[in-house]
């Protein structure tokens, strides 16, 4: 991999780009005014200061700060993104995960909306259970009106999240959960059937043991009105389960969480039931709790041993001593974060400090396996996963026990619940979270996922592409004398080596990607890590486009059988208009939906001799833009002409090209509203203001002119209630596979969507 030496730090070019774009301090002009070393020093010094609260001297604090700095700059461990962004800075909000309660009253609902906006503004993600809201059509006692139900109120949360935008560094992300026994469950299951709705939400159905037993026994189960606690209906469990499976097959949502299983391991049952998780599903929390996360890089936990065990033939093994040292430093780090954190709400601060939950996880798991020559989809890998995570959990608890001796147990520690166990400083220790941007910074594979590609194309500059190669694979190929550009270009077309004949079979088995292994292999790996994880595991089970509904059902049932706490699935290409990553044109062209046998060719309507319309002046940063929109015989937009600047100039030619393509789309039957959605919000380097609104570019101006056209007024951007939105809906784009910031392909991994080109992540 190409490396940029930033003094003592060895960073890939992409890691440096991600740091500059998302993490390093900038001045008011947007210029980066911090180096990566200064970032890690800022974070280390800030987090180490918590030791002063426990009687440590300034010298001891400096020693701790140096250990934390070494921990991060060696990339053995990185904390969650808000800690890297905000530690030692004015905002100071360091937690990634929050859960807010939503009670069955207008006051409680809009309190939750307000609190969520405050959290999103500081860079956190929020989880909600809507299970306590009365169902649609139920009586509203205060007004004798009719309730609109949970799904309706979810749109209020979604709109508020979109408005906040999180300052451009981290976008709002929500988890919405509804119990399977809520009367509105069928509406909830399909509430994201339209890819343009609830785009700031991940949704999951909360499954109960009673429901899963009813599925197994093929019987019905009760729906309970949360207001009255009365049974109001009964549904056949298998029918509901099949609907969940079908929808997940169709577009990846909803996911499922096993609520009773989560509460069976709730360390604080006396404080109430856990009803929701953070946006990616790996962190179950009580209302008004937050959790700070961090990940150990397992790629750095491999060493040469003369007495290497049976796991490997390369003289390499897990460096257990280094792993132990890293675990203890990481637990110390994460416990300190709780004390120096500036919480967005006082109630969240009180609950977080009362329980002191931390979530220590891993990344670089695929890299560790590759170094040890262990195929990801092997029993040996499953055995090692259990051994590694068991070690992390055990040592993490021991480290927490030592902190408890020095600092005291967490305030809500209940001796009756933890009888027979050593007293701990933290109610939970381990969580496996997504590590999208963190793994880019550390230069390792993401979370516990397989490689997303052995080789892929990265956009490095406008119009410039760079072929990226996995460094371990490059090393292997060079050692075998097989490394050459032609080979790498072939691999980059699909990302996989399985169909490359000259690569030895042993190498193919080790360098498997997310789409090379079966969905059942994904679940087995998730289950292996879940066995020794206090909270939950964030992981995406990837399916090929050809997977059947039955395949998804099998994975859901296996996840339940193997003890997982939840499942997220994604069938490649299942979201409409998705830009498929790592696939050749031939593969993409051959893809059809299961019920489609032929593709109908669109033929644009011919232009009649005379059409009528109007011309609108739009001011842009490039000058006055005149947009002419003509109608068809039914009064609908039929064609668009543009005029700006000198004929033959760059702006003129670009605008003319856009006009021609819009005209072609309109004459081919594409709705004008859909064209507006695609163009509106595209920005350039010269935005301007016009008629009280912001014009971001010529494309944006043309879209807004089309939107304002009289024939289009009646249905003006239904998705946003008719209001003028001055940015392209980035969540829509990320849902359909293209990164909203660089146009690269989005990978679904770790329960999230991540762009490996620029570090954009759809999840908070």
Among 210, 244, 277, give the residue marking a domain's end: 277
226 shares a domain with 105? yes
- 480 found inside a domain: no
What pLDDT is recorded for position 7? 52
Question: Looking at residue 647, what is its pLDDT?
Answer: 55
For residue 172, the 8-state DSSP code is -
Question: Is there a single domain that holds both residue 261 and residue 344?
Answer: no
In a domain, 172, yes or no: yes
For residue 703, being part of any structural domain is answered with yes
For residues 54 and 104, state if they share a domain. Answer: no
Split into its structural domains, the chain has a count of 3
Burial of 697 (0-12, 13-18, 19+ CB in 10 A): buried
Cα–Cα distance for residue pair 265/563, rounded to 1 Å: 12
- Residue 235 shares a structural domain with residue 190: yes
Q: Do 109 and 80 belong together in one domain?
A: no
In a domain, 228, yes or no: yes
Domain hosting residue 154, numbered range: 97-277
Together in a domain, 125 and 67: no
**Greatest distance between any 2 Cα atoms in the chain:** 88
Structure tokens at 191: 């509430």
Same domain, 640 and 702: yes
pLDDT at 653: 80
pLDDT of residue 460: 59
pLDDT reported for residue 722: 41
553: nearest Cα among 219, 215, 206, 282: 215
Tell me: do 135 and 249 sit in the same domain. Answer: yes
Alpha helices by DSSP H, listed for 122-229, are 150-164, 185-189, 209-217
Residue among 253, 259, 180 nearest 568 (CA)? 253
Task: Catalogue the active-site residues.
Answer: 278, 280, 282
pTM exceeds 0.85? no
* 109 and 85 within one domain: no
pLDDT at residue 1, rounded to an integer: 34
> Is 733 within a domain?
no
The CATH number assigned to the domain holding 681 equals 3.30.390
Alpha-carbon distance values, 363 to 293, 380, 432, 713 (Å): 12, 19, 8, 50
Last residue of a domain, one of 713, 728, 758: 713
Domain shared by 126 and 237, yes or no: yes
Structural domain includes residue 700 = yes
**Average pLDDT per run of 10 along the chain, which is 764 residues long?**
53 91 92 96 98 97 98 97 95 94 96 95 92 94 83 94 65 90 98 86 97 98 97 98 97 96 95 96 96 96 67 74 98 98 97 98 98 97 98 98 97 81 93 93 96 84 72 94 93 93 95 94 97 96 93 97 96 59 33 36 74 84 85 83 71 83 86 85 74 80 84 42 36 43 69 76 67
In a domain, 485, yes or no: no
| Within a domain: 105 | yes
| Domain termination site, one of 255, 277, 299 | 277
Confirm if 706 and 629 have CB atoms less than 8 A apart.
Answer: yes
Q: Does one domain contain both 140 and 258?
A: yes
Residue 192's domain is classified under what CATH number?
3.20.70.20
Let me know whether 327 and 265 are in one domain: no
* Preceding peptide of 598 cis, ω within 30°: no
Burial of residue 610 (number of CB atoms within 10 Å: 0-12, 13-18, 19+): exposed
Query: What pLDDT, on a 0 to 100 scale, did the predictor assign at position 83?
Result: 96
Q: Using CA atoms, how far apart are residues 123 and 91, in angstroms rounded to an integer?
A: 10
């Amino acid at each position: 991999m190409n490396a940029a030496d930033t003094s003592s730090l060895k960073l890939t070019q992409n890691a440096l780009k991600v740091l500059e774009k998302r993490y390093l301090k900038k001045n008011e002009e947007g210029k980066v005014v911090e180096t990566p070393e200064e970032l890690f020093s800022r974070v280390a010094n800030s987090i180490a200061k918590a030791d002063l609260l426990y009687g440590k001297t300034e010298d001891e604090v400096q020693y701790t700060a140096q250990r934390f700095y070494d921990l991060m700059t060696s990339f053995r461990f990185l904390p969650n993104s808000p800690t890297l962004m905000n530690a030692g800075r004015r905002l100071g909000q360091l937690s990634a995960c929050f859960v807010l309660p939503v009670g069955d009253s207008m006051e409680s609902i809009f309190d939750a909306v307000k609190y969520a906006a405050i959290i999103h503004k500081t860079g956190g993600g929020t989880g909600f259970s809507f299970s306590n809201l009365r169902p649609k059509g139920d009586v509203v006692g205060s007004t004798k009106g009719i309730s609109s139900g949970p799904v309706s109120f979810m749109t209020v949360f979604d709109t508020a999240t979109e408005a906040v935008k999180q300052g451009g560094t981290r976008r709002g992300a929500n988890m919405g959960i509804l119990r399977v026994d809520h009367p509105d469950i069928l509406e909830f299951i399909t509430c994201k059937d339209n890819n343009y709705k609830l785009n700031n939400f991940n949704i999951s159905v909360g499954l109960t043991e009673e429901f899963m037993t009813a599925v197994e026994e093929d019987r019905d189960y009760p729906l309970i009105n949360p207001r009255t606690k009365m049974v109001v209906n009964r549904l056949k469990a298998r029918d509901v389960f099949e609907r969940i499976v079908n929808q997940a097959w169709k577009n990846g949502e909803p996911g499922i969480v096993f609520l009773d299983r989560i509460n069976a391991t709730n360390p604080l049952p006396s404080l109430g039931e856990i009803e929701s998780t953070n946006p990616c599903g790996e962190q179950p929390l009580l209302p008004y709790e937050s959790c700070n996360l961090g990940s150990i890089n397992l790629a750095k936990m491999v060493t040469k041993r003369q007495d290497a065990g049976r796991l490997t033939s390369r003289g390499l093994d897990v460096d257990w001593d280094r792993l132990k040292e890293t675990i203890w430093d990481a637990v110390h780090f994460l416990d300190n974060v709780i004390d120096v954190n500036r919480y967005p709400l006082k109630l969240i601060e009180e609950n977080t400090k009362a329980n002191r939950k931390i979530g220590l996880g891993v990344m670089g798991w695929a890299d560790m396996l590759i170094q040890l020559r262990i195929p990801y989809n092997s029993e040996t890998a499953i055995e090692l996963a259990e051994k590694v995570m068991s070690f992390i959990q055990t040592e993490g608890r021991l480290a927490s026990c030592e902190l408890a001796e020095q600092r005291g147990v967490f305030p809500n520690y209940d001796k009756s619940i933890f009888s027979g166990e050593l007293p701990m400083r933290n109610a939970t220790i381990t969580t496996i979270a997504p590590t999208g941007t963190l793994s880019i910074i550390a230069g390792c594979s993401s979370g516990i996922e397989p490689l997303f590609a052995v080789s892929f194309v990265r956009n490095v500059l406008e119009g410039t592409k760079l072929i990226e190669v996995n460094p371990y694979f490059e090393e292997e190929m060079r050692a075998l004398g097989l490394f050459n550009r032609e080979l790498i270009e072939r691999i980059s077309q699909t990302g996989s080596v399985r169909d490359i004949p000259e690569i030895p079979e042993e190498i193919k088995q080790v360098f498997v990607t997310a789409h090379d292994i079966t969905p059942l292999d994904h679940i087995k790996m998730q289950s292996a890590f879940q066995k020794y994880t206090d909270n939950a595991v964030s992981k995406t089970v990837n399916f090929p486009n050809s997977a059947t509904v039955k395949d998804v059902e099998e994975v859901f049932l296996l996840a339940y059988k193997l003890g997982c706490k939840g499942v997220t699935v994604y069938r490649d290409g299942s979201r409409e208009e998705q830009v498929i990553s790592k696939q050749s044109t031939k593969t993409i062209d051959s893809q059809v939906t299961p019920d489609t046998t032929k593709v109908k060719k669109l033929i644009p309507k011919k232009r009649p001799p005379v059409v009528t319309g109007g011309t609108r002046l739009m001011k842009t940063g490039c000058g006055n833009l005149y947009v002419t929109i003509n109608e068809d015989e039914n009064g609908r937009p039929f064609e668009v002409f543009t005029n700006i600047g000198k004929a033959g100039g760059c702006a003129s030619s670009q605008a003319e090209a856009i006009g021609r393509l819009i005209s072609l789309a309109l004459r081919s039957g594409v709705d004008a509203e859909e064209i507006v959605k695609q163009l509106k919000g595209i920005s350039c380097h010269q935005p301007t203001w016009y008629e009280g609104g912001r014009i971001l570019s010529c494309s944006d101006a043309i879209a807004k002119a089309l939107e304002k056209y009289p024939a289009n007024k009646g249905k003006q951007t239904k998705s946003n209630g008719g209001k003028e939105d001055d940015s392209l809906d980035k969540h829509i784009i990320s849902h359909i596979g293209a990164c909203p910031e660089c146009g690269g392909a989005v990978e679904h991994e770790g329960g999230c969507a991540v762009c490996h080109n620029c570090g954009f992540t759809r999840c908070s």
